[in-house]
Amino acid sequence: MAKARASSIGKTRGNTRTEPGSGDSFWDRPMLINLLADLLFLVGGGLLAWAGAMALQRLPVFPLNQLVVATPLDQVSQAQIENTARNALAGNFFTVNLETAQAAFERMPWVRSVSLRRLWPDGIELTLEEHRAAARWTPQDGESRLVSMRGEVFMASTRESLPAFVGPEGSAPRLLARYHEFSDDLASIGRKPVAIHLSAREAWQIRLDDGALLELGRDQPKHPLIERLNRFTTHYAAVSSMAKSRLQAIGVVDMRYPNGFALRASKS
């Protein structure tokens, strides 16, 4: 009887043993459960914040009622500003994206730079810097644009009488600097440049307001451009008198010679 009872007890104990690893399931790992809970909390919080922001943007609270232009404008019209503002200033006082709006205003013709700031409680202040045109820019690809007083090329149109610059892309600052230099030298004879051309081979031409074309050639250390131009201005009076005596207008003045120049009468 004792042996039978012992056998029965041993069998019962054998049935209640657990297999190795059976307590390693996901629900038995508190650390993983906590991590999942934190992740779900962050995702839920992000979605809730996004939904709240979208709802706030649609609510008629803190609407934008005024756009204050802080700088006087010469080229940009009020209609252009209003049209851009309608498309760029979306949302209310708190949700409007100023960076996106700034980029939209900077795409307007004549605009060099833009800054925007909020004006409590319902406004936006707009500060614009306009380009000031110095010349018309026609690079060798034939596309017409303008050159600013800073030597920057920008897309815009104007009826203002401006000198014409022609040259390789990226050379506008050099042409502007030469234009001022040539203008100062030609002012001594009462002439001014109306067009400046820089070829791909670095050869310079100047068209004067009387129609004459000056061929200056390439700038060289031994024979700089300004030295050739000074030679022309020094002899301009004599050249003009000679042309008038022959009832001919000066067409082309070739200044590419080291110590002199050649004249060709205009074809008219």
In this structure, the answer to whether residues 261 and 146 fall within a common structural domain is: yes
The whole-number pLDDT of residue 19 equals: 52
The whole-number pLDDT of residue 236 equals: 86
State yes or no: pLDDT of 245 exceeds 50. Answer: yes
The whole-number pLDDT of residue 100 equals: 96
Asked if residue 48 belongs to a domain, the reply is no
Task: Give dist(CA 131, CA 147) in Å, integer.
Answer: 9
In this structure, the answer to whether residues 110 and 176 fall within a common structural domain is: no
* CATH number for the domain that contains residue 182: 3.40.50.11690
In this structure, the answer to whether residues 70 and 175 fall within a common structural domain is: no
pLDDT band at 237 (very low <50, low <70, confident <90, very high): confident
* CATH number for the domain that contains residue 88: 3.10.20.310
Could you tell me the two tokens for 173?
Answer: 């600052």
Asked if residue 227 belongs to a domain, the reply is yes
Asked if residue 232 belongs to a domain, the reply is yes
- Domain housing 183: 133-265
The whole-number pLDDT of residue 24 equals: 63
Cis peptide before 121 (omega within 30 of 0): yes
In this structure, the answer to whether residues 180 and 116 fall within a common structural domain is: no
In this prediction, residues 154-181 reach a mean pLDDT of: 94
In this structure, the answer to whether residues 157 and 90 fall within a common structural domain is: no
Per residue, the 3-state secondary structure of the chain, as one string, reads CHHHHHHHHHHHHHHCCCCCCCCCCHHHCHHHHHHHHHHHHHHHHHHHHHHHHHHHHHCCCCCCCEEEECCCCCCCCHHHHHHHHHHHCCCCCCCCCHHHHHHHHHCCCCEEEEEEEEECCCEEEEEEEECCEEEEECCCCCCCEEEECCCCEECCCCCCCCCEEECCCCCHHHHHHHHHHHHHHHHHHCCCEEEEEECCCCEEEEEECCCCEEEEEECCCCCCHHHHHHHHHHHHHHHHHHHHHCCCCEEEEECCCCCCCEEEECCC
Work out how many domains the chain is built from and give that number: 2
Asked if residue 41 belongs to a domain, the reply is no
In this structure, the answer to whether residues 137 and 257 fall within a common structural domain is: yes
Among candidate residues 130, 153, 171, the one where a domain is terminated: 130
Asked if residue 174 belongs to a domain, the reply is yes
**In this structure, are residues 257 and 228 in contact, taking their beta carbons and an 8 Å threshold?**
no
If we measure between CA atoms, which residue out of 196, 173, 74 comes closest to residue 131?
Answer: 74
Least confident of 22-36, 92-106, 129-143, 145-159: 22-36
In this structure, the answer to whether residues 252 and 137 fall within a common structural domain is: yes
If we measure between CA atoms, which residue out of 92, 112, 110, 88 comes closest to residue 100?
Answer: 88
The whole-number pLDDT of residue 10 equals: 44
Task: Give dist(CA 93, CA 95) in Å, integer.
Answer: 6
The whole-number pLDDT of residue 33 equals: 74
In this structure, the answer to whether residues 153 and 238 fall within a common structural domain is: yes
In this structure, the answer to whether residues 192 and 113 fall within a common structural domain is: no
Higher pLDDT, residue 247 or 90: 90
In this structure, the answer to whether residues 109 and 218 fall within a common structural domain is: no
Q: What is the pTM of this model?
A: 0.72
In this prediction, residues 165-174 reach a mean pLDDT of: 94
What is the torsion angle, in degrees rounded to the nearest 10, for the CA atoms of residue 82, residue 87, residue 91 and residue 97?
A: -100
Span 127-140, pLDDT tens digits: 999 999 999 998 65
In this structure, the answer to whether residues 157 and 257 fall within a common structural domain is: yes
The percent of residues above 90 in pLDDT, for the chain, comes to 54
State yes or no: pLDDT of 86 exceeds 90. Answer: yes
Q: What's the mean per-residue pLDDT of the chain?
A: 84
The whole-number pLDDT of residue 57 equals: 58
pLDDT band at 183 (very low <50, low <70, confident <90, very high): very high
State yes or no: pLDDT of 50 exceeds 70. Answer: yes
Asked if residue 107 belongs to a domain, the reply is yes
